Structure formats: structure tokens, C-alpha cells
Amino acid sequence: QVQLVESGGGLVQAGGSLRLSCGASGPSLSQNAMGWFRQAPGKEREFTAAISWSGNSIYLDSVAGRFTISRDNAKNTVYLQMDILRPEDTAVYYCALKADEDASYYEAKYSYWGQGTQVTVSS
């Protein structure tokens, strides 16, 4: 099966930065869109950012301009650069992989998920 391995979460003060990484491996990977979702305590999981195979990206409105998603297709790896972090960004961040190449806002379109990495932003 496909496995997604995440890294880069941690504890930072408001205004700080983190970079999340997620590498995908498995027998059936081919030109896959990838994305990030997050889940804060007491809330539903929420779309955060996604990137198509060709590099087109989409964002949750509240993170646009502060977060940047990128990818290295040769490594099947997606990154989320998180700048000017706010306490409301505190959540578990999940990496996801889609079967086709088009980025999507909808978590149901993604086929595989990582275990999640905790991001905590203090005020």
C-alpha cells in the first residue's frame, strides 16, 4: 500500500515559522496530486492546501499568503512552508495523496493519508 511519512511539526510562538514535509512511497504512485488538511481540537478536519502534479496550488483563505505548498515530483514529496503562524493554526496536520493529478479541496477525493503531525502555536 501507499505510505505517507510526515515530519516538521512542533511548538512555535505566534509569528514564527515551520516547514512540514511528507514523502509518499508505494507500488502504484503516478502523477498524483497531494494536499494538506488540518484538524484543530473540537473541530472537523479542514482543507488547508493542495498542489497538482503540474504545480498549480490552492489554499484555505485564512492561510493564503502565509503558507506555501510545493512539491518535488521526483521524490514524491510535498512541503508546506508555514510563515507568520497564528494560535488558530494549532492543529494536527495531515498529508494526503490523490489518485489523479488534479488538486482538490475535498478530502473524499484523496486516497491515502499520513498519521498527522502536531503543530502548536503559542500566543
Average pLDDT over all residues of the chain:
96
pLDDT-based confidence at residue 30 (cuts at 50, 70, 90): confident
Work out the percent of the chain whose per-residue pLDDT is above 70: 100
Cell numbers that stand for 5 in this block: 511519512
E-strand stretches of 8-109: 10-13, 18-25, 34-39, 46-51, 57-59, 67-72, 77-82, 91-98
Q: Which of 92, 94, 83, 88 is nearest to 122 (CA)?
A: 88
